[in-house]
Amino acid sequence: MIQRVMLNKAAAFKLLFLLLVATLQLDAGTGQNPDIKMGFTAVDIHGNPVHVPGKGKTLLLFFNPGNTYEKMIVFYTQALHNKFKEQGFQVIGIARGEESRLKSFAQKSATQFPFVLDKDSRIQELFGVAECCGATIIIDHDGNTRQSFKNLLDEGNLRQLVEKEVSGKITYDFNRLPQQVFITGKKVPDIPLEDAGTGETCSFEDIAIDNLVVTFFSSLCGICKTGKRLRTIADVERDLKAGRKDDVTFLLVFMGPFDKEDILEYGKKLPMPYDTYITKYLFSEEEKYITDKDLKTDPLTILLDKEKKIVFMEEAGISEENLSTRLLEFISRR
């Protein structure tokens, strides 16, 4: 009897183990040895199956959907997904935290690759990923770990890593100045905007205002978070009204991954007296950020005329005091 019970327990343990492997298809190993095949099968937040390895290289991004910086990196990866998907490249976001937060981010970011909620941390444990820090891992179609970083790489390193792995060469150097999408004297790009209050979508062309001051906020912007840029804009607006010039409208455009909840939290700390919009389209046709590396993490203020041409754009590195003076002088002359 004792022997039969022991056998039953052993059989039950074996069955449980087989079920576990069948659920995730986890192969033994740490992910550090390229000779060890790695892979899993899971279900994304929409109930669709996700397989690793895939047909080509797979980028695994382990991230926290409650972390603004990590959301920015994941959001940026959409450009890499678009660029290389025809070559079998796939991206999978693997998140910890609350499912509702992950679904909200996936919906609002409009990313086109799957997200998996690693509820019991089994995928993280498979690849040796710590709860705190995220990870960037590339797996090839045979299940070999090509690259493994125990953190989320920044945009420049991530792009170069993916380009080298997928195409074998790096086509873009983040140390050089990217192409500017905003050019003085040219029409502002037809960037889709979402009203942060109503959720309605529009573009700058739909805003029938002769003089439109637009300030783009970045989620990584220290000047934005301290309220310096808001105070600068408020000072310009006050001085314009004092000079009885009231044909100027001010807009704040929050660059993704800001969403409505983020802006509400933002508004609890800082005054938000202006019309606010959200844009998720930060890239030019070459899939580069709309501004250079400095402006990418700082606010950018431009002035549009009635034809939506950019008639004024702040210079990189300008102080808030000088921006206020120059913008006020420029508008007053119009």
Q: pLDDT tens digits for 269-291? A: 777 778 899 886 554 444 444 44
Q: What is the pLDDT of residues 57-66, one digit of tens each?
A: 999 999 988 8
Cα separation of 145 and 244, whole Å? 65
Residue after which a domain boundary falls, among 116, 151, 166: 166
Could you tell me if 78 and 137 lie in one domain?
A: yes
- Alpha-carbon distance of 191 to 25, in angstroms, equals 43
Question: What was the pLDDT predicted at 98?
Answer: 82
* pLDDT surpassing 90 at residue 48: yes
pTM, two decimal places: 0.54
* Least trusted range by pLDDT, from 34-38, 208-212, 232-236: 34-38
Which residues touch 221 (CB under 8 Å, ≥6 apart)? 229, 297, 298, 299
Looking at the chain, the whole-number percentage of residues with pLDDT higher than 70 is: 77
Q: Would you say residue 219 has pLDDT above 70?
A: no
Q: What number is the average pLDDT over the span 91-103? A: 89
* pLDDT at residue 44, rounded to an integer: 93
Query: Which residue in this structure is represented by tokens 């059989």?
Result: 11
Mean pLDDT, residues 131-149 taken together: 89
- Could you tell me if 40 and 62 are in contact, meaning their C-beta atoms sit under 8 angstroms apart? no
Polymer length of the chain: 334
Mean predicted lDDT score pLDDT of the chain: 78
**For the segment 172-211, what is each residue's pLDDT rounded down to a tens digit?**
554 444 446 678 898 988 788 888 888 899 989 898 888 9
Residues 64-90 have pLDDT tens digits of 888 877 887 888 788 788 888 889 999
Q: Are 267 and 320 in the same domain?
A: yes
Q: Are residues 209 and 253 in the same domain?
A: yes
- d(CA 204, CA 275) in angstroms, rounded, equals 13
Sign of CA dihedral 325, 326, 327, 331: positive
Overall domain count for the chain = 2
Whether residues 40 and 95 fall in one domain: yes
| Residues 323 and 202 grouped into a single domain | yes
String of DSSP letters for 238-286:
HHHHHTT---EEEEEEEETT--HHHHHHHHHHS---SEEEEE---B-TT
Q: What is the pLDDT of residue 181?
A: 67
Residue 189 DSSP one-character state: P
Query: What is the pLDDT averaged over residues 9-33?
Result: 38
Tokens representing residue 137 in the block: 């891992």
Residues 130 and 200 in one domain: no
Looking at the fold, whether 212 and 270 belong to one and the same domain comes out as: yes
**Rounded-to-integer distance, Cα 261 and Cα 319, Å:** 30
CA dihedral (8, 14, 19, 20) positive or negative: positive
- 106 shares its domain with 235: no
Residue 96 has pLDDT above 50, yes or no: yes
Tell me if 12 is assigned to some domain.
no
Single residue among 119, 151, 166 that ends a domain in this structure: 166
Q: How far is CA 90 from the centre of its chain?
A: 17
Determine, yes or no, domain membership for 47.
yes
Residue 45 has pLDDT above 80, yes or no: yes
| Structural domain for 103, as ranges | 27-166
